[in-house]
Structure 1
Amino acid sequence: MINLMYLVFIAMLALNMSKEVLSAFGLMNERLTEANMSAEQRNSAYMAGLAEKATEQPEKYVPLKAKADEITALSADFDAYIESIKTDLKATVKDDDMSTRNYEVMDKPDYLNQTFFVGDKLTPEGQQFVDNVDAYREGVLDAISDLEGEKYDKIRSDINDKFDTAPEDRRDGVKVDWLKYHYEGFPMIASLTKLTQMQSDVKTTNTEVLSTLLEGQLQSDVSLDNYEAIVVPEKTAFFSGENFKGRVILGRFDNSMTFDKVTVNGNDIESTQAGQVLLDFPAGNVGEQEISGVIQYVENDSVKSIEIKSSYAVIPKPNAAVISADKMNVVYRGVKNPMTISIPGVGQANATAPGLTSAGGSGKYVMDVTTVQGREVNINVTGSLPGGETVSDSKSFRIKDIPRPVGTVRGEDGLIKMQRNALEISTIGAMIPDFDFEISLNVTGFKFNVPGQPTVVVNGGRLNEAAKNTLRRARRGETVQIFDITANLAGASGYRLQKISPVFVELTN
């Protein structure tokens, strides 16, 4: 009798352990689902940025967007297919058990056993699952087959590892069919978690490809091989009989660069200074004139040649104002927009517009349209020619708000990997990526969330004690969120910024 009671006691302990394992799988599935939602948002942001770049620079980014669209479509289709299997799987569980997270009832392997297997063979549904995994793997590998580099080699290796459907070696050395090895006989909650993990692998693959595509283009942009020679005239138009004066520079201006040979319009140019070629030759007759030639320099022990190709206009006399924004073709609220306003041939031009003030110096102005209503502003310019004749002109500029800022931790945005103690002492900030103006944003508060913990409201730019205490309860590998960041614009605290994008931190310890 004592031995029998001991066996019953051991069986009860095993039963309790089984329930705890089932609950652990359920919690893991929840965490993976949350991480997948964050990955989906991140991938959507990548695609939105790529779409904007493709609109702004179609020759450079349209091919990248086409490849990104192809891979994103493959990922979305495969993710939706996995989601349909999970939906059917969860439909076998009562709604009350799902809503109350009663994962202990999901201990039977019956549904997938009956759906995927019949005896020692696969059902048509089981074979379809394997075929879809193979189709996704080969589809993505084919889409990136023409991309070269160590990062793409690693992505290809990861794809082959994560989505390999070759037979698996069992512990006893016997080879087992991949689908049977991973899904036959497992509790329902374990299979559900494995399917969610596969969705995570799909989204991670999509993220790695998208980020590498953009990173590769940015690296290409900073290579001198991709730069063109730019002719910068001293002024935009010249009178007949004048000498053309200007400069030829490379797109990436470098004061330390020297040129081996420069030829413009068939003549060798000897006048060079601080990475620039100084031009001085007769402007020519009235009309459009061409500038052509070649500029040569040495890089990595080889001679690089860049074609010079530009044009300029020679006019008999000025009859219209030339107005240009120093940094862009629009003006922004909340910042001081530098403007250069002049009329060719007129020594001093007078410009008027709401928010426009002189910045000192010939033709230099600053425009502040923070309080200007509407989406456009007109600049009116008048001037007097040497003979006393008055010329005038006007031009409309679009008014835009400052782009949406993004939240940062230690100056990094998006998804960041960081140690817990580093996050405790890090500064929460905000910045506007790729904005032409250097502005400072002062963070005044934010919300801090650890999965499974209440959200903490923080004043200032660093974690308070409540946030630090919440952070200490986070687990390694969890992603904490910093959102609803509030900030004001330095020097224009009354300006209302757009909603600041959140920042995510994956804890590495």
Structure 2
Amino acid sequence: MALPKDPRQKMINFMYLVLTAMLALNVSAEILNAFSIVNNSINTSNNSLTAKNNFIYSQFEAQMKDNAAKTAPLKAKAEEVKKLSADMYSYLESLKETIVTAAGGKDEHGEMKGKDNLDAATRIMENEKKGPDLEARLTKLRTQLLSYVDPKKKDQFEKTLPLKIEVGKSGNEHGNLNKSWTTYHFNMVPAVAAVTILGKFQNDIKNSESAIIDDLFRQIDASTFKFDKVRPFISLNSKNLMEGQTLTAQIAVGAYSTTVNPTIVVNGQTITATEGLGTFTAAASGIGEKTISGTITLPSPTGGAPESYPFTETYNVGASTTSISADKMNVLYIGLQNPISISAAGVPAESVSASINGGTISKRGSGEYVVTVSQPGKAVINVVANVDGKVKSLGQKEFRVKRVPDPVLKVGVNKGGSMKAADFKVQGGLRADLEDFEFEGVKYEVIGYRVGIQAKGREYTEGDATSAYFPGNVAGSIRSLRPGDEVYFENVKVKGPDGVVRPMPSTIFKLN
């Protein structure tokens, strides 16, 4: 049940290290805003982890219905881990609120007023000794969490558990000086940085909780579940065959044993079973519905009379029906890997192959293909199959070939028109997003534009960008934007997945 590491989480950890280092150089408004952004990302990540962990806890409940004896003790441990983590998370939240209050509280928008306050964290965490207390609590929590790990994996978990309580080193004019954990993290740091650091520890706790409960859940052994019913089953290579093809049927008993070979009779013919499995073959002939039937007889495990189980299965013999469909829609897009599904009734997928005019097609799985095209217009896919040693044409289908649609220009999440000045100022550049497009992950690259700023009471400024980012000569004007100002984008050029550079219409943002 372990989930892969979220790329957002890796970025949060990286930004946390960079911003902490930047504090030693200068506490500028940009750095304070950057800490706010990181703190918001941490909170979002924490919410995602909470949802993921709650799902795992619900799976313990589900397993209790089928395997209570094995699940109950592991579920009890998971609940203890949940409480330990929740208690520490709440304690960290209370510390964050205390620091925010000491720094002046929040404004009407819910933003911290004294982000740059250097006294609040130092006074609360060092002078009032909340820091050493937090260090002791986190150290104890780490030890408690590791106590729930399988002893065979404890060494591994001690190295990888996200919650770590480490003391860094820094230098002064007298050489290296070992600092206390509290001093290293909270001495003379802005209030917003202290809140972000505490949020980072909350994130470590959530990730550690996730690792521990995942390990507990894996210890539930599904193989201990008992099957209490026996029934025959039959598996055909296909239920729709072309005339002249071979029918193959595999016949066994549900929950069958490889150490007991049943007696199998199909259409009056006795089939030899190997490791509990019998295989019946017959040539398909005559168009229409056909039937195979028979019995499976097992010896009694107690030495009594053998038990027989009847079965019946139908299949159809007919002409081949071929399906060729684009997984997204009946269009192939230039510059993309277009997924195509191809199936032919009665023909094994491995025997089917396809070709296309005006492009290339490659097989990536059973019945799954990828098509690439380069010119707009039309393309035809032809399908053939090797049927009993002979190549047979199964059909063709025509597709439209189009270029990927133009993107929408955005700053942040806004498409132009009215936008808050405060939101605009914290953005880094112009984006080009595809909206309501069938393919996921298709992106456009902004390669250049001209930006003009008409600010009330100031001179008009403009600059030319050679990438998505705002040009440096208008950075000051952007930081000074106020409600009532206007920002223009023109001569915008973007490059899509087909490598073609496209001009985009001009757009304007009116700030409020």
Q: If the length of structure 2 is used for normalisation, what is the TM-score?
A: 0.43
